[in-house]
Copies of this chain bind each other. A is one copy, B any other.
């Protein structure tokens, strides 16, 4: 299935591709940093230029209320399928800088890896989709199918303008499926293909008891304490294992089928290694499901942060009047974020201790859960290409994470997303010393070229 000419083409351009990636990685496109807004503009221009250089005839830089996005479209024949490649060119902040062995924005090659912020998430992967296009188009001057691109500059800040971007450009972006270049593989020698992501819905719970913090000597014995009340309320959210006790939380959940559970069990998981890597000595989570099932297919209510009262050095004998809790829920089919936040609000009203006022404020950035329709031809082709590329069948995996873009493509364009990407586990996404394997970079380009070709029935 792998065309030797494509392999040869990618190999011929390997050095040039690598240099391009290093150049791309030097752009400090940290989307959270307002002072680097200009860098995001430059990076968008760099990406747009690269698409044009690859031959994409219609490339647009689209302004948003935040950082610009880059769209591209290479329509070769309307009777052929169209794939839309998704990615992002913004990166996480590099801090803490002192933990990097080489500077975050001075990409450095060591032991077959490129170390730099954004190497793995996801500038390397983004380029493979373009290099693959070039390789696939080299002989005939055009790609085997219609290929479009949507690269955003705000993924690391939660894609606040992405839905509107897709909606406003729905006609331009029309496609049969999305290929997400944002993701990775099970391991260097083991491919995987993702069939699902969790959804996300969250809220901040604000609890108040009195009109001001009070002296604990005078009032602690008889005025409701907001921190105490919050811990009491928060403790009603889970049973001792971690099953969510919010009434109705599981009502919409479609449980895994025995076949799906078998499929998940086929993917190796080493509990001892996980414990060691994470520095934990016990697992947690909903009883009745394996660790991997919990991660991939069981919903959760995660406490992301809590605060209230005095947090400084030493002691301050205060009876706090307010406390706050951040909760985000990872959702599975067919849960809906708005409904889950509504259930949490009802739970809080029911379980809040006497004398407390509780406000539940939905957090932005919700997403529906997503599980792919496996009859999707792009999914099937991707599975075949991965098998050919690695010489073995991909594991069927899911993610406990959330890709809001996936839900947006479904809502706005009515199409499924297939992840097709190369990052390795442990490659330091969002952490110091992020890396990306040079081998994956070149294999990825071959993968994209092969997939574009495979989509032409």
Q: A278-B210, A294-B222 are in contact. Are A326 and B309 (CB under 8 A)?
A: yes
What residues on B are CB-neighbors of A281 within 8 Å? 355
What residues on B are CB-neighbors of A323 within 8 Å? 306
In contact, A225 and B284 (Cβ under 8 angstroms): yes
What residues on B are CB-neighbors of A305 within 8 Å? 227, 308-311, 316, 318, 320
Q: From the candidates B221, B224, B286, B310, name the one contacting A304 in the complex (CB within 8 A).
A: B310
The answer to the question of A280 belonging to the interface, with a C-beta cut-off of 8 Å to chain B, is yes
What residues on B are CB-neighbors of A319 within 8 Å? 302, 304
Q: How far is the CB of A76 from chain B (nearest CB, A)?
A: 37
CB-CB nearest in chain B for A319: B302
In contact, B225 and A198 (Cβ under 8 angstroms): no
In contact, A221 and B285 (Cβ under 8 angstroms): yes
Instruction: Please provide the chain A residues from 212 to 244 with a CB less than 8 Å away from any CB of chain B in the complex.
Output: 212, 214-225, 227-228, 230-232, 234-235, 237-238, 240, 242
What residues on B are CB-neighbors of A217 within 8 Å? 198, 200, 330, 399-402
What residues on B are CB-neighbors of A295 within 8 Å? 218-219, 221-222
In contact, A223 and B315 (Cβ under 8 angstroms): no
In contact, B306 and A307 (Cβ under 8 angstroms): yes
The answer to the question of A328 belonging to the interface, with a C-beta cut-off of 8 Å to chain B, is yes
What residues on B are CB-neighbors of A308 within 8 Å? 305-307
The answer to the question of A291 belonging to the interface, with a C-beta cut-off of 8 Å to chain B, is yes
The answer to the question of A103 belonging to the interface, with a C-beta cut-off of 8 Å to chain B, is no
The answer to the question of A317 belonging to the interface, with a C-beta cut-off of 8 Å to chain B, is yes
Q: A210-B280, A238-B228, A328-B216 are in contact. Are A315 and B309 (CB under 8 A)?
A: no
The answer to the question of A365 belonging to the interface, with a C-beta cut-off of 8 Å to chain B, is yes
What residues on B are CB-neighbors of A328 within 8 Å? 216, 315, 317
Residue of A304, A309, A324 contacting most chain B CB atoms (<10 Å): A304
The answer to the question of A97 belonging to the interface, with a C-beta cut-off of 8 Å to chain B, is no
What residues on B are CB-neighbors of A354 within 8 Å? 282, 284
What residues on B are CB-neighbors of A304 within 8 Å? 216, 227, 309-310, 315-320
Q: How far is the CB of A374 from chain B (nearest CB, A)?
A: 22
Mask of A169-208 contacts with B, CB within 8 angstroms, 1/0: 0000000000000000000000000000010101000000
What residues on B are CB-neighbors of A316 within 8 Å? 304-305, 326
In contact, B303 and A227 (Cβ under 8 angstroms): yes
In contact, A215 and B401 (Cβ under 8 angstroms): yes
The answer to the question of A279 belonging to the interface, with a C-beta cut-off of 8 Å to chain B, is yes
What residues on B are CB-neighbors of A306 within 8 Å? 227, 230-231, 306-309, 311, 323
Cα(A235)–Cα(B282), bound, Å? 21
In contact, B317 and A221 (Cβ under 8 angstroms): no
Q: A291-B222, A300-B221, A306-B323 are in contact. Are A278 and B315 (CB under 8 A)?
A: no
Cα(A212)–Cα(B325), bound, Å? 20
In contact, B303 and A225 (Cβ under 8 angstroms): yes
The answer to the question of A314 belonging to the interface, with a C-beta cut-off of 8 Å to chain B, is yes
CB-CB nearest in chain B for A220: B302
CB-CB nearest in chain B for A204: B315
Pick the 7 closest A-B CB pairs, nearest first: A211-B279, A282-B355, A217-B401, A305-B309, A235-B235, A231-B234, A305-B310
18 A–B contacts from the bound complex (CB under 8 Å) = A158-B314, A200-B217, A210-B278, A218-B399, A219-B400, A221-B285, A221-B300, A222-B295, A223-B278, A232-B238, A283-B355, A304-B310, A304-B317, A305-B309, A306-B307, A306-B309, A310-B326, A315-B364
